[in-house]
Amino acid sequence: MTNGTLAMIACPILEDEMIYSILNDPEDKRIYLLRNKNTSTLVPKLEHHNIDYINIDEKDFLKGTVRIADDGYSIVIWMMDLGLHSDPKHLGEAIRDELTRIDGRVDGVALYYGLCGNGLLGIIDWCKESLKTPVTIFKGSDGKICDDCICVPLGGSDNYLKLVRRYPGVMYLTPAMACSQDDFLSSQEMFQGIEMTGMTRDEFMKFMLDLADYKYALKIDTGMGDQEHFQEECERFVKRFNLQLKRLEPEWISTETADRIYSEAKSFLKD
């Protein structure tokens, strides 16, 4: 039986992998959700899967005024702002700040992120040097940190590179990306300073896709997330940006990185 507290610090685009991890672990656990503005897409998914959770205020938890049970296995979910991706350097600084704030308050941390434009380059080495609490992140079997949210469901960087070679010049759509496409697009670094172009976000996106000769969007069905609306949201995306929709062959999809991050993070806790 596992004893201790695991923190899951997550990007909303990778919350489906986090839910997958929770659902596929049969061990009894308490789930605590830190209430903030970044949980709007997560809460319906938790409820859809009948995952019981205790809602606690983020600020109260960080101030230490909320007690996490010290017996048995507890998970604290802390959702981050998707908008941090608009500036990879700021993303890296923000995640380091939050890890510092939670250091010593939990027994291990699973960081549901990739490198994200190299904003988190060197993050694990920094954690080992700066924190008492062990931290892990999405990695392939070779130990390389996953590049981004597309790399994760492919099982790592090597398969990601193969995918780029097999399907060059396409937009990739996972369930979380498609079903949160407005927020996802708003978070992208490429839209910084867009007001100077005189274009709307969609106009600029179409311009960039045309410039790069993108003609397709590739549906990457992980089997996770909002399956009920995934197809229609993919269709909305391609209609919105004048693309055609393709579906990635199922044999490309892997839960390897999701299984690995959770297993390693849980190993930080006591049996």
pLDDT digit string (tens) for the chain, length 271 residues? 899 999 999 999 999 999 999 999 999 999 999 999 999 999 999 999 999 999 999 999 999 999 898 899 999 999 999 988 778 898 999 999 999 999 999 999 999 999 998 999 999 999 999 999 999 999 999 999 999 999 999 999 999 999 999 999 899 999 999 999 988 887 777 767 777 777 888 888 999 899 999 999 999 999 999 999 999 999 999 999 999 999 999 999 999 999 999 999 999 998 7
Question: Do 116 and 169 share a domain, yes or no?
Answer: no
Question: Do 121 and 238 share a domain, yes or no?
Answer: no
Domain for residue 154, yes or no? no
Question: Do 115 and 34 share a domain, yes or no?
Answer: yes
Domain that holds residue 201: 159-252
- Predicted TM-score (pTM) of this structure: 0.93
Dihedral sign, CA of 42, 209, 160, 239?
Answer: positive
Shortest CA distance to 14 belongs to which of 37, 42, 40? 42
Question: Do 104 and 196 share a domain, yes or no?
Answer: no
Residue 192's CB is within 10 A of a number of other CB atoms, namely 10
Place of tokens 């099982």: 155
Domain for residue 153, yes or no? no
Distances (CA, A) of 208 to 70, 116, 118: 52, 20, 22
Question: Do 136 and 18 share a domain, yes or no?
Answer: yes
* Burial class of residue 103 in the structure, from the number of CB atoms within 10 Å of its CB (0-12 exposed, 13-18 middle, 19+ buried): middle
Q: What residues contact residue 122 under an 8 Å CB cut-off, 6+ apart?
A: none
Question: Do 58 and 168 share a domain, yes or no?
Answer: no
Question: Do 8 and 109 share a domain, yes or no?
Answer: yes
Number of domains present in the structure of the chain = 2
